[in-house]
Structure 1
Amino acid sequence: MPTRNTPWPAGSPCWIDYGASDLDAAKEFYARLFGWEYTGGDAEYGGYLNATRNGEPAAGLGPLMNPGDSPGWTTYFATDDSRATVDRIREAGGTVVVEPMEVGPMGTMTIAVDPQGNAFGLWQSGTHTGARIFNEPGALVWNEAAVTDPAAAREFYAAVFGFAFEAIPMDGGMEYSTFATGGNPLGGLGGHEPGSPKGWSVCFAVLSADDAVATVEAGGGKVTMAPTDTEYGRFAVVTDPWGAPFSVMQVPAGS
């Protein structure tokens, strides 16, 4: 079971959370889909919950910060210095929506938007180091962005996080690259295809993509892309009952 109990290296996607319009219903939907249990929910932190898998934090869920926003998933990148990263975001043309904000002893949260309007977060670890389980059924396995201008997005994220990009050949000539700060790829970035989700998206590992899709549909969600075999595993794109997109990737248990 891949786990981590120390802060993630700067630039790594380190945490994800879900802004819910109906928190109780979202808890039930994702618990049924991923086998999650929940801790937290204190009023001091706005009812924010940690979703756990095998007892380890996998993701967060909380009420929408702005009730007028659409429910959805946010990807957070690790930083060792929130203020310095915020400066780089602004210098590269991005916008800071929520200034670095201490969340008790747990860490410092920031929300920003890149020049193409795609939201993402920063997390500077305190006692909460981010996801402690990953690449395991019911946990995060991949983060990627679908953007209007991939070249401009690569320039922005390289300036902010120091990413190096490697182009990956794709069917149909779609532009796609993985990004890294050294070592293994941390995620991907590619061109936005009409009819598909735009911006940063999250992908969860599951034991069976077909079973996961059936659970999504039974719970009121929809299938955007039916389960498809790829060289990386069987993959599907779905939306939850509130229209929030995410994907699932079939992986062996304990991979």
Structure 2
Amino acid sequence: MNITQHPENTVSWIDLGTPDMETTTAFYTALFGWTVAPPDFNGYRLCALRGHLVAALGPAEDAGAPYWTINVTVSDIHATATRFTNLGAQIVVPPTRVGTLGHAAVTLDPVGAPLSLWQPGTHDGIQLNHEPGTFAGISLLTDHCAQAAAFYRPALHWNSNPQHTRFRLPDNSIAAVSPPPAKPTAQRSLWLVSFASNRPHADAKRARQLGATEVRQDSNGDVALRDPTGALFSLTQHVR
């Protein structure tokens, strides 16, 4: 599905900090058919499918296993960062101008999950989703579901069900909440990014042939894997 604009407080961009750019680029190019652009002066590489932006790869900046980061669009990044701080989140990188592209901030929510904020300028974010090889949703891996729900309701206006097992975002997408399969990073929690697949089990087999390790298969048919450098991701047929 082509996208021209992302509603406020929804996921608009995903990127992966990797310790091995060559291996990571080869893996996602082979698995999803992405075209990965040459790096900018920071080593950041934009990824496209059929000419539409879908993700980015950059050098890892954190110790431990690499991970996909979700970026949430906000209209006032300074106000949102202040709200995050007041609600118990940690601001790792304060709101920073990224040329004409927009403003970015990096946070750790109160349960330890990394999440970035994005106030768009010329870069709105993902241009294609819910098609094979593109972004299809998120889920929060944490043992602290109630604490996460108590944060995201006021922080980003995400509603949660009484059991705190799923969030509903402003674009009506659903983000599941579940225990992590294992401690994914040095953090206590992590956002898991899902990519669309018409045949997740066959694509998971292909991913394993390319060097990935399968972590688990969910009852709904989703398959979670670690890429060759250890970053968790999921394959799904379900639109969230």
TM-score by length of 2: 0.91
Aligned-partner residue type, residue 28 of structure 2: Y
Quote the residue 1:5 is aligned against. Answer: 4
> Is contact 1:150-1:189 (8 Å) kept?
no
Quote the residue 1:237 is aligned against. Answer: 224
Quote the residue 2:192 is aligned against. Answer: 201
CA distance in 2, matches of 1:194, 1:49: 29
Matched, 1:156 2:178: no
**How far apart are 1:189 and its partner, in Å?**
4.0
**How far apart are 1:69 and its partner, in Å?**
4.5
Quote the residue 1:172 is aligned against. Answer: none
Quote the residue 1:39 is aligned against. Answer: 37
**How far apart are 1:75 and its partner, in Å?**
0.8
Matched, 1:58 2:47: no
Counterpart secondary structure, 1:217:
helix
- Which structure 2 segments of 5+ residues have no match? none
CA distance in 1, matches of 2:178, 2:19: 29
Distance 1:249 1:17, change over 3 A: same
> Is contact 1:21-1:63 (8 Å) kept?
yes
Quote the residue 1:95 is aligned against. Answer: 90
Which structure's residues are more often strand, by fraction?
Answer: 1
Answer with 109-118 or 189-198: which moved more.
189-198
- Which structure 1 segments of 5+ residues have no match? 169-174
Map of 1:25-36 to 2, 5 A cutoff? 25-36=23-34
Map of 1:162-181 to 2, 5 A cutoff? 162-166=157-161, 176-181=165-170
Quote the residue 1:16 is aligned against. Answer: 14
Aligned-partner residue type, residue 160 of structure 1: A
**How far apart are 1:243 and its partner, in Å?**
1.1
**How far apart are 1:40 and its partner, in Å?**
4.8
Quote the residue 2:76 is aligned against. Answer: 81
CA distance in 1, matches of 2:175, 2:162: 10
> Is contact 1:116-1:147 (8 Å) kept?
yes
CA distance in 1, matches of 2:88, 2:162: 24
**Alignment: residue pair count:** 235
**How far apart are 1:10 and its partner, in Å?**
1.3
Quote the residue 2:207 is aligned against. Answer: 216
CA distances 1:33-56 after superposition (whole Å, capped 9, x unpaired): 11100235121xx12111111210
CA distance in 1, matches of 2:202, 2:99: 39
CA distance in 2, matches of 1:140, 1:193: 20
CA distance in 1, matches of 2:201, 2:147: 36
Quote the residue 1:184 is aligned against. Answer: 172
CA distance in 2, matches of 1:25, 1:73: 15
CA distance in 1, matches of 2:23, 2:114: 24
User: Which one has more relative contact order, counting CA pairs under 8 Å at least 6 apart?
Assistant: 2
Aligned-partner residue type, residue 4 of structure 2: N
Quote the residue 1:171 is aligned against. Answer: none
> Is contact 2:212-2:228 (8 Å) kept?
yes
**How far apart are 1:180 and its partner, in Å?**
2.3
Aligned-partner residue type, residue 135 of structure 2: L
**How far apart are 1:156 and its partner, in Å?**
0.5
> Is contact 2:136-2:238 (8 Å) kept?
no
